[in-house]
Amino acid sequence: MRLHTYFRSSASYRVRIGLEWKGIPREDVFVDLASGEQLGEAYRAENPECRVPLLVDGQIRLTQALAILEYLEEKYPEPPLLPADLAGRARVRQLALVIIADTQPLQNTGPYEFLRDPLGLDDRARFRWYQHWVSRGLGALEAHLADDPRTGHFCHGDTPTLADLAMVPQCSNARRGAIELGQWPTVSRIYESCIELQQFQRAAPEAQPDAKP
Amino acid sequence: MRLHTYFRSSASYRVRIGLEWKGIPREDVFVDLASGEQLGEAYRAENPECRVPLLVDGQIRLTQALAILEYLEEKYPEPPLLPADLAGRARVRQLALVIIADTQPLQNTGPYEFLRDPLGLDDRARFRWYQHWVSRGLGALEAHLADDPRTGHFCHGDTPTLADLAMVPQCSNARRGAIELGQWPTVSRIYESCIELQQFQRAAPEAQPDAKP
C-alpha cells in the first residue's frame, strides 16, 4: 500500500495509526503541505480534493481518513478497530465523527489560513475561532465519554477503536495550540493511555521521516 | 424510532432520507434551531453536542448523521444504501465524507454565526467564506464523479447510496445560497435525479411539519 501523507496532518496521522494497529506495511509518499505541494497540478491529478491522506492499494485509490479506516477494517478485520456489536459500532462511529466532522475541519490549515487571507482576521481573532471549536468538540466528546459505562481504558472498552484514532490527533493538535487537555479529564486520561502504545508512537507526527522541527 | 430534527438541518435531512428509503416509520421531535432551542438545558441533556439529528431507538441514542445512517444500514440492510462490494463501499463513504467532513461543517449555522459574532465579519465576507467552501466541496465531488465509470444515474451506480444522501442536502443548501449548481454538471444531474424520488421529496425541508417559509 502507498500512503500519500504529511507528518502534521491529523487525517494522515489517523490512517497511520490504523495501518500500524493492523500491522500493514506501507510505502510513504510525502506531500509537503507547508509549501502548498497539495495545490499543485501534480498532486491535484492524484487527488482532486488537494488533501492528504490518499491511500493507493492496487487499483483502489481512496481519500478521506474515515473511509480509508472503514476500508482497512473490512479488508483486514483483525485486530479490530470497531466493536463486534451493532450498538457499539454505532457509538464508536458517532464519537469519531464528533471529531472528524464537527471539530477537525473547522480548525484545519485551509480554513484557518482563509480567515487571515482573504478575510483579514488577525491572529488573536483566529485563535479565538480555533479555541472555540476545539473546545466545543473535545467538550462534547468528554460529555459522551464521562458517564457512559462503555467507556473503558479507551473510548470504547479496553482496546483502541476508530474513536481513539479520531481523538488522539485532535488532542495532539490542541496541546500544540496551548489548549489545556486537563479540563476534559476523561479525554485526557484516554489520550495518555493511547500515546503509551507503540502503534500510536510509530504513527505520531514527530516519528515520521518528513517531520520538521 | 424517535428523531430529534429540524426541517432545515442538512444532517437531519440526510437521516430523514435514509429512514424514508428504508421505509422505517418515525416519530419526530422538533428542535427549533432558529430560536436556539438546541443550546438550552433541556436539549443539552438529550444531546451534549447541542446538535440535531438525534435518533432514539429503544435504549440506543445516536448523534452524527453518518453514524446513524451506518447503524440503519446494518440493522435494516434492505433496501441497501451501500454497495455490496468492498471497493464500492469505500468509494461511497469517501464521497459522503467529502461533504459531511470537509464541506457542510464549514458552512453550518454555528460557524457562520461565529464569524459575525464575536469575530465581527460582515455579510459580504461571510458569504465569501460560504461560497468558497461550498464550491470547493462540490467541485471536489464533481471531479471524483465526472470521470469514474462507477458513477451512474446516481453517485455510485443506478440506485441511491449514502453518497447521494450526503450530497442532496448540500446542493439544496447551495441553491438557497444562490450558488449555481450547473457549474458542476455531474453533481447537478444527479441532484435532479434524486429530488424526483418520492423518498427524497418526503424527507425534504419544505415537506416537514416544522417548516417555516
Å from B212 to nearest chain A CA? 26
Task: Give pLDDT, residue B213.
Answer: 81
The CATH number of whichever domain residue A174 belongs to comes to 1.20.1050.10
Show the cell assigned to A81: 478497530
Å from B119 to nearest chain A CA? 6
> Do residues B49 and B90 share a domain?
no
Residue A135, classified by CB atoms within 10 Å of its CB into exposed (0-12), middle (13-18) or buried (19+), is middle
Residue of A nearest to B56 (CA): A87
∠ Cα A134 A144 A156 (to 5°): 105
Å from B66 to nearest chain A CA? 8
> Do residues A105 and A138 share a domain?
yes
Residue among B93, B109, B147 with most chain A CBs within 10 A, to mutate: B93
∠ Cα B52 B56 B59 (to 5°): 145
> Do residues A19 and A119 share a domain?
no
Å from A61 to nearest chain B CA? 9
> Do residues A29 and A61 share a domain?
yes
> Do residues A37 and A11 share a domain?
yes
Å from B85 to nearest chain A CA? 10
Over residues B100-143, the pLDDT tens digits come to 999 999 999 999 999 999 999 999 999 999 999 999 999 999 99
Show the cell assigned to B82: 451501500
Out of A15, A49, A79, a domain closes at A79
HSE (side-chain half, CA atoms, 13 Å) at B178: 2
Residue B147 has pLDDT above 90, yes or no: no
Whether residue B65 contacts residue B11, with contact meaning beta carbons closer than 8 Å, is answered with: yes
Å from A24 to nearest chain B CA? 18
Minimal Cβ distance to A49: which of B63, B111, B140: B140
- Check the CA dihedral A111-A117-A123-A128 and report its sign: negative
> Rounded CA gap, B169 and B145, in Å?
17
Cβ distance A48 to B140 less than 8 Å, yes or no, reads yes
Let me know if residue A213 belongs to a domain. Answer: no
Cβ distance A98 to B143 less than 8 Å, yes or no, reads no
Cβ distance A128 to B118 less than 8 Å, yes or no, reads yes
B60-63 and B54-57: which strand pairing?
antiparallel
Q: Which domain holds residue B75?
A: 2-79+201-207
Alpha carbon separation from A141 to A86, A151, B65 (Å, rounded):
20, 11, 16
Over residues B29-60, the pLDDT tens digits come to 999 999 999 999 999 999 999 999 999 999 99
Task: Give pLDDT, residue A123.
Answer: 97
Chain A positions touching B139 (Cβ under 8 A) are 48
Residue-averaged pLDDT of chain B: 97
Whether residue A112 contacts residue A130, with contact meaning beta carbons closer than 8 Å, is answered with: yes
Out of A21, A46, A79, a domain closes at A79
Q: Does the bond joining B118 to the residue before it have cis omega, within 30 degrees of 0?
A: yes
Cβ distance A49 to B133 less than 8 Å, yes or no, reads no
Residue B69 has pLDDT above 90, yes or no: yes
Cβ distance B89 to A101 less than 8 Å, yes or no, reads no
> Do residues A98 and A160 share a domain?
yes
Q: State percent of chain B over pLDDT 90.
A: 99
Minimal Cβ distance to A64: which of B97, B132, B143: B97
Chain B positions touching A139 (Cβ under 8 A) are 48
The CATH number of whichever domain residue B19 belongs to comes to 3.40.30.10
Distance in angstroms between the alpha carbons of the first and the last residue of chain B: 27
DSSP state of B55: E
Cβ distance B91 to A118 less than 8 Å, yes or no, reads no
- ipTM of the prediction: 0.98
Residue of B nearest to A11 (CA): B101
Residue B177 has pLDDT above 90, yes or no: yes
- Domains: count for chain B: 2
Cβ distance A70 to B93 less than 8 Å, yes or no, reads yes
Show the cell assigned to A181: 487537555
> Rounded CA gap, B69 and A19, in Å?
25
Residue of A nearest to B122 (CA): A119
DSSP state of A56: E
Alpha carbon separation from A19 to A79, A98, A184, A200, B158 (Å, rounded):
11, 22, 28, 10, 33
Task: Give pLDDT, residue B45.
Answer: 93
Minimal Cβ distance to B64: which of A62, A64, A98: A98
Over residues A173-208, the pLDDT tens digits come to 999 999 999 999 999 999 999 999 999 999 999 999
Where are any strands of DSSP class E within chain B?
A: 2-5, 27-30, 54-57, 60-63
Let me know if residue A156 belongs to a domain. Answer: yes
Q: Which residues of chain A have pLDDT under 50?
A: none
Task: Give pLDDT, residue A213.
Answer: 81
Residue of B nearest to A128 (CA): B119
> Do residues A52 and A144 share a domain?
no
> Rounded CA gap, B120 and A21, in Å?
44
Residue B29, classified by CB atoms within 10 Å of its CB into exposed (0-12), middle (13-18) or buried (19+), is middle
Helix, strand, coil percent values for chain A (each to nearest 5):
60, 10, 35
